[in-house]
């Protein structure tokens, strides 16, 4: 990281958006480097930036459960974007980095764990469909809506039952999932 600090000190563009569709600030957050995050922001990095295919710095910090970086970024982010960034974080935690810690952290900051995907599925439904059962179990533990129905009328319970995943079926029943 010394090279990054040197480049910044010599005037490198802190908001450059390379082909990776990730700004230097997004990368610093992804690397969990608070010192570099602070330096980039001090030099003018945009805390609200998000690429076409990438998440905002706050979304990345939340999805990874990087509390110190999240706490540093939160007061700097445009308050009108916070809920959107947290919902991005939820989807990033379940589809991208598949972070159990990220899900716990997002629940602790009251992120909407039932936010809809473009097709209407919730994170819990998406994890069961994707057979990411450890993530599904974590979402159940932290309070995701277990009775939400997809556009097709399916529930997490019906999907878990169809996958013959008894542990998830039992976890869903334990928190009040109902058969329909």
SS3 152: coil
* Domain identity same for 144 and 105: no
C-alpha distances out from residue 123 to 47, 92, 160, Å: 25, 10, 14
pLDDT at 134: 93
* Domain identity same for 106 and 128: no
* Domain identity same for 107 and 24: yes
Encode the chain (180 residues) as per-residue pLDDT tens digits.
Answer: 566 666 667 666 667 765 667 888 998 999 999 999 999 999 899 999 887 766 899 999 999 999 999 999 999 999 999 999 999 999 989 988 788 999 999 999 999 999 987 777 999 999 999 999 999 999 999 999 999 998 888 999 999 999 899 999 999 999 999 876
pLDDT at 78: 94
How many domains are contained in the chain?
A: 2
* Domain identity same for 103 and 125: no
* Domain identity same for 100 and 22: yes
pLDDT at 167: 93
How many alpha carbons fall within 13 Å on the CB side of residue 8?
Answer: 21
pLDDT at 7: 62
* Domain identity same for 59 and 75: yes
Rounded CA separation 82/48 (Å): 9
CATH number at residue 21: 1.25.40.20
* Domain identity same for 120 and 107: no
Residue 125 dihedral angles phi and psi, to the nearest 5°? -60, -45
pLDDT at 98: 82
Q: Can you give the residue range of the structural domain that contains 133? A: 116-180
């Amino acid at each position: 990281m010394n090279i990054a600090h040197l480049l910044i000190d010599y005037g490198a563009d802190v908001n450059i958006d390379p082909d990776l569709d990730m700004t230097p600030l997004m990368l610093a957050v992804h690397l969990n480097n608070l010192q570099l995050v602070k330096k980039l922001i001090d030099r003018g990095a945009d805390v609200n930036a998000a690429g076409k295919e990438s998440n905002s710095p706050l979304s990345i910090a939340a999805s990874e459960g990087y509390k110190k970086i999240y706490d540093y970024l939160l007061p700097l982010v445009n308050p009108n974007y916070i809920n959107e960034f947290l919902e991005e974080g939820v989807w990033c935690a379940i589809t991208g980095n598949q972070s159990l810690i990220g899900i716990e952290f997002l629940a602790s900051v009251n992120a909407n764990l039932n936010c809809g995907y473009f097709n209407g599925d919730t994170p819990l439904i998406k994890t069961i469909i994707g057979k990411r059962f450890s993530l599904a179990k974590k979402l159940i533990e932290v309070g995701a809506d277990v009775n939400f129905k997809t556009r097709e009328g399916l529930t997490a319970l019906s999907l878990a039952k169809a996958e013959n995943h008894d542990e998830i079926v039992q976890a869903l029943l334990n928190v009040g999932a109902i058969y329909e």
